[in-house]
Structure 1
Amino acid sequence: MLGLTADAEEGGGYSALPWYALRQNYAGALRAAGGVPLILPHEPALVGRYLDLIDGLVVTGGAFDVDPALFGADTRHASVTLKAGRTDFELAILRGALERDMPVLGICGGQQVLAVALGGTLVQHIPDAVPNALAHEQPNPRTEPGHTVTIRPDTLLARITGQATAAVNSAHHQAVQTVPAPVVVNAWTETDGVIEGIEDPTRRFCLGVQWHPEYAIDPADTAILRAFVAAAAAAG
């Protein structure tokens, strides 16, 4: 069983009351990779029960940001949008999963939450912090690639994909800035140096990617999800 974190919205649109949401292709892609997905409501008191049920955890993306105070910043960029309840839950379940050495996969914003849980920091707004940055919030559809990433050899990501580069979609204005040892950067954008992937080689399977492999834009995407599902199955 694979746990997926959901997004949350206040009332309006789908319901007049607060509601959870998740794109179907997250679950569909994991099912296609051989997994059984389970969407997790934001109930911090149930983290231990959730972790008893699942064999692997996926922290999904979303149009919001991690509170900069959580990684030691004393200022907050004007572009930063918070969903405190979601972030509190995701950090709690991530830390619980890491304590159990459960396989974890952070996707897009989920990679950023993973980085913070591992002691890293974030770039709050790429256009203001990275000179000559690419359009990391790509103007073309998310079903198409936005740019290419370089994959570091001798990493879990390189072993999984068997590739030196991958075409990825790009839907983020923040990125990982630093990670502490033993965490390593396993992918980046050559043009502007923005970090695109991280991993902790001391753990069973601890991987973050800044793009969305559930769209299966590049063969690397399917390989990542299959490797995660296999690691979860072995852990279970």
Structure 2
Amino acid sequence: MAVLGGCFALMAGCKSSPPNSFTFTADLPPGFVYQAVAKYEPDIGETCSVPDGRNTAVGYNLQWRENYVAASEIAIRRTVRGCPLVIRKIDLEIYFAYGKDRGDFASDYAAVAIRGELEEKYKGTFNETGESRFYGRCQWLFRTSGKPRILRKLLDCKKTDELGTLARGRPFAAYTLDQLPGKTVRMKIELAAEERPGWGDTWVKVPNGWKRCMGESFEDQRAYCNGNYTDFSTFQMVDGRICTIYPGCTE
């Protein structure tokens, strides 16, 4: 009681410790989810190690199909097998399932780096509410695969600034350890307005979509146009429909 009474008497000397966690969350296009893996290393000045590196990473939304939560509470420091660890990186993967089969999904990467010190120009900034944002744009790419020419989709995500101007690399942010306690880091991803072919000279743009070049024959897996922009092939959507134009299927 004496200690407690002294604390009330001297409030300036009774400071609470900063939180040992921060919140990571994401604003994503409809139907998109993220998976995160927070990776830890021995704290600064520590000489210990964790055998085989086991339990030095913590996953979030690993079962994103069954249970997805947008906000993840991430510890800054952890102790594993007696070794004090500190967070160094969050590996992020952005997912979208475009079909019902387990393999009908596309994904791309993003990341957050955490360091003891950073030059000011590399450090993320927080607003008055304690939130920092970083930005990206994902582009849908499409192609065909296999003898039935099944349509498959790829996801290509790039970093942008707050105004949507594309930058080099994947969506990315960096912070120092002392910036994070009790704060929120938010990844904001937009989706490009139009899809485009995975690579050039395989599809032809027409007024209401894209048509797949035939190539040398329907069995030609690469099926480059090679100047033939009049002979096209059908392709199969993941739901089994046979189509002549993407994305509308029928002309």
**TM-score, shorter chain, exceeding 0.5:** no
Q: Please state which band the TM-score falls in when normalised by the shorter chain.
A: under 0.3
Please state which structure has a larger fraction of its residues in strand: 2
Higher gyration radius (CA):
2
Structure showing greater relative contact order (alpha-carbon pairs closer than 8 Å, 6 or more residues apart): 1
